[in-house]
Every structure is written in structure tokens, then in C-alpha cells.
């Protein structure tokens, strides 16, 4: 049985996503893409947050979902948004059904389904953002080594924030630095002289996640504490430096491609920026042996 079995007889389908980024990447959007690939003769509408549309492909229509107070008063968590009134959630669904009366609206599974609603064979992790995303990113490249930072910093989940992002930014003057994040979900650099916040580069035909995907593809390494963006980088095949309290999950279990990953076991999220910087220097060295990095994820 597949969660999408009910869609077999439907010709017009609205896929709804109001959820945590990491879960949307590998527990929803990738499953939606796989379903669309295997059922190309239907009409598809994607309803998700505006900055995430480029996680999806081969759809016909996009309906952006805007939630007031996201990442401030309301927290995306697994398949839902915590502290969001049931009435607000139901109102969004009612609006979608009214706007697309001939379509079948399917929501993500409830949290009691657990992480693994879809098997690996039901996922398409080959994300293909719209072409302008790549054009924008490549116009920003320099002759310096390129890295992407994923500085997760959320008011609604402070225990996983890292207090040293500004110190690390200041150490990276020899790099072209792309910064991934949107709205109030990340630590913006105070000194922008050598950093590019990707959300600031948006224009018609791009999205923040589309720019992040292309920035990661252009980077030697992605750096950030455990969260959805480093997992996205692993799926794209770009090496990762990460830290946090779930090494096995973030470096091994959800690293399907066995992309090189150096993960600091750091349950207090207090690893020093000098340590992270030194690992960046090592992993951006052209002569580094990737097999040595792979050994780290299995220790």
C-alpha cells in the first residue's frame, strides 16, 4: 500500500505542504515528484510556502501558502506547523478546494505515521529548479573557492541555534560564501562584504530553495548544524560539514548517496568556529581524499 494509492483515479490533484523543510525535501516533495514522474497524464497543482516551489517539477500550477508569524510564533515541525490554529489550517484547505473545485486535495500524512511513510524507491531526489536559478548563482561566482553556509537560527527552537555564525563569517574572506535561509529561519551575516544571502537574489523565475540547490551544486562544501539544508546537500552530492545531536541520522541514515560528510557529535551546539573553519580549509583543499571523510560518518 502506498500513501498515494487514493490518487489513482484522480485526474486533477493538489499536493499541499505546510511542514518542516527537511521533511518536505525527503518525505514529501521527493515522493510527489516520483508520483508525477510515473503518472504524467494528470494535472498537478503544488501548494507550499513561496520559497520552496523549486523542490517540485513537472507541475502545471503553483499556489503559494503564506502563514503569518512563521518561524517566529509558529514552528514548522515534521508534517505540520506547530502553534497554528486548526481554524487557520482548515481555512487554507477550504480556500484551495474552492479555487480548484475539480481537483482532489491531498495533505501530508499525520505525524503518527512516523518518518518513513515512503520507501526509498518511492522518492525522486533529483531536484531540478527552474533554469534562472542556476543562471543567477553562476553570475555570482568568483575565482575564490565557493561554499554554502546553512546557518539555521530560529526563535522557535533556540536550543539548536549556534552562537558563533558571525565569527565564522569573518573568517571566510578567502571564499565566495552563499548563505542559505529564508525569512526568520537563519542567522544573516552582519558583514555582507564576502557573503551572498540567497533570498536577497530572488526575482521572477527563482525561489530561495532553487537558488540554494544551485549554490550547493556550485560549492565545494555545505556547512551548517543539523537541519534540512545539509541533508539537501548530501542528496545533491555536495560534501557537508555539520554538527549536532543526531550524527547517525544526519550523516548516515539519511545520507542515501554516501556523500562525504564530516559530522561533529555536538549535543550542546557549542563547537568552536575555529574548529569549523579548519575543517572547511581541509575539505576545500583540491587534494583531499574523500574516502577519509566517508570513514568519519561510520565512526
- Cβ atoms of 14 and 106 closer than 8 Å: yes
What is the DSSP secondary structure assignment for residue 7, as one 8-state letter? G
Q: Report residue 159: phi and psi, to 5°.
A: -70, -15
Residue 74's pLDDT band, with cuts at 50, 70 and 90, is: confident
In this structure, the answer to whether residues 92 and 153 fall within a common structural domain is no
In this structure, the answer to whether residues 157 and 105 fall within a common structural domain is no
Residue 293's pLDDT band, with cuts at 50, 70 and 90, is: very low
Give a yes or no: residue 61 inside a domain. Answer: yes
Return d(Cα 237, Cα 249) in angstroms, integer: 17
Chain segment 172-223, per-residue pLDDT in tens: 999 999 999 988 789 999 887 889 999 999 999 999 999 999 999 999 999 9
- Cβ atoms of 220 and 144 closer than 8 Å: no
Residue ranges making up the domain that contains 32: 9-109
Mean pLDDT of the chain: 91
Please, which residues bridge with residue 29 across strands? none
What does the pLDDT average to over 152-159?
79
Which range in 80-89, 187-196, 274-283 is most confidently predicted, on average pLDDT? 274-283
* CATH (domain of 277): 3.40.50.2000
Chain segment 108-131, per-residue pLDDT in tens: 887 556 677 898 899 999 999 999
Please, which residues bridge with residue 176 across strands? 146
CA-nearest of 214, 60, 51 to 138 is: 214
| 111-116 long-range contacts, CB within 8 A, separation 24+ | 111/78, 111/79, 111/80, 113/3, 113/79, 115/27
In this structure, the answer to whether residues 105 and 142 fall within a common structural domain is no
Give a yes or no: residue 117 inside a domain. Answer: no
Give a yes or no: residue 176 inside a domain. Answer: yes
Give a yes or no: residue 276 inside a domain. Answer: yes
Chain segment 36-45, per-residue pLDDT in tens: 999 999 999 9
H or E stretch including 35? helix 30-38
Number of domains composing the chain: 2
Residue-level pLDDT at 290: 45
User: Could you tell me if residue 176 is left (phi over 0), alpha (psi between -120 and 50 degrees) or otherwise beta?
Assistant: beta
In this structure, the answer to whether residues 102 and 162 fall within a common structural domain is no
- What Å distances lie between residue 66 and 53, 74, 119, 179, 210, CA to CA? 13, 12, 30, 23, 18
In this structure, the answer to whether residues 291 and 143 fall within a common structural domain is yes
Q: Looking at per-residue confidence, does 63 or 285 come out higher?
A: 63
Return d(Cα 240, Cα 278) in angstroms, integer: 14
Return d(Cα 214, Cα 212) in angstroms, integer: 5
In this structure, the answer to whether residues 188 and 272 fall within a common structural domain is yes
Chain segment 45-68, per-residue pLDDT in tens: 999 999 999 999 999 999 999 998
Residue-level pLDDT at 298: 43
Give a yes or no: residue 73 inside a domain. Answer: yes
- The answer to which of 68-72, 96-100, 143-147, 215-219 has the lowest mean pLDDT is 68-72
CA-nearest of 262, 281, 182 to 224 is: 262
Q: Looking at 109, 144, 160, which one is the last position of a domain?
A: 109
Residue-level pLDDT at 111: 59
In this structure, the answer to whether residues 159 and 291 fall within a common structural domain is yes
- The reported pTM is 0.90
In this structure, the answer to whether residues 271 and 162 fall within a common structural domain is yes
In this structure, the answer to whether residues 28 and 136 fall within a common structural domain is no
In this structure, the answer to whether residues 66 and 137 fall within a common structural domain is no
Residue-level pLDDT at 73: 81
Return d(Cα 159, Cα 170) in angstroms, integer: 24
In this structure, the answer to whether residues 98 and 143 fall within a common structural domain is no
CA-nearest of 149, 152, 148, 16 to 75 is: 152
Residue-level pLDDT at 81: 87
Return d(Cα 269, Cα 225) in angstroms, integer: 8
Give a yes or no: residue 119 inside a domain. Answer: no
What is the DSSP secondary structure assignment for residue 70, as one 8-state letter? B
Residue-level pLDDT at 17: 96
Amino acid at each position: 500500500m502506498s500513501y498515494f494509492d487514493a490518487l489513482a483515479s484522480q485526474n486533477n490533484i493538489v499536493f499541499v505542504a505546510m511542514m518542516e523543510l527537511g521533511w518536505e525535501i525527503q518525505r514529501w516533495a521527493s515522493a510527489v515528484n516520483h508520483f508525477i514522474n510515473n503518472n504524467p497524464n494528470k494535472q498537478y497543482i503544488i501548494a507550499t510556502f513561496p520559497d520552496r516551489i523549486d523542490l517540485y517539477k513537472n507541475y502545471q500550477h503553483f499556489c503559494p501558502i503564506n502563514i503569518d508569524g512563521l518561524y517566529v510564533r509558529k514552528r514548522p515541525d515534521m508534517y505540520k506547523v506547530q502553534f497554528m490554529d486548526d481554524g487557520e489550517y482548515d481555512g487554507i484547505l477550504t480556500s484551495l478546494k474552492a479555487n480548484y473545485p475539480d481537483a482532489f486535495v491531498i495533505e501530508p500524512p499525520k505525524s503518527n505515521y512516523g518518518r518513513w511513510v515512503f520507501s526509498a524507491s518511492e522518492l525522486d531526489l533529483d531536484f531540478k529548479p527552474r533554469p534562472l536559478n542556476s543562471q543567477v548563482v553562476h553570475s555570482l561566482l568568483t575565482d575564490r573557492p565557493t561554499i554554502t553556509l546553512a546557518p539555521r537560527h530560529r526563535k522557535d527552537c533556540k536550543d539548536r541555534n549556534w552562537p558563533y555564525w558571525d565569527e565564522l563569517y569573518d573568517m571566510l574572506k578567502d571564499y565566495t560564501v552563499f548563505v542559505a535561509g529564508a525569512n526568520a529561519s537563519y542567522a544573516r551575516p552582519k558583514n555582507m562584504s564576502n557573503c551572498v544571502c540567497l533570498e536577497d537574489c530572488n526575482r521572477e523565475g527563482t525561489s530561495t530553495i532553487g537558488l540554494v540547490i544551485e549554490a550547493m551544486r556550485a560549492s565545494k562544501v555545505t556547512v551548517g548544524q543539523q537541519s534540512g539544508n545539509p541533508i539537501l546537500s548530501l542528496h545533491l552530492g555536495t560534501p557537508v560539514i555539520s554538527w549536532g545531536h543526531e550524527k547517525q541520522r544526519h550523516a548516515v541514515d539519511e545520507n542515501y548517496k554516501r556523500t562525504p560528510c564530516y559530522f561533529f557529535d555536538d549535543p550542546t551546539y557549542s563547537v568552536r568556529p575555529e574548529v569549523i573553519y579548519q575543517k572547511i580549509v581541509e575539505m576545500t583543499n583540491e587534494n583531499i581524499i574523500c574516502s577519509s571523510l566517508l570513514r568519519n560518518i561510520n565512526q
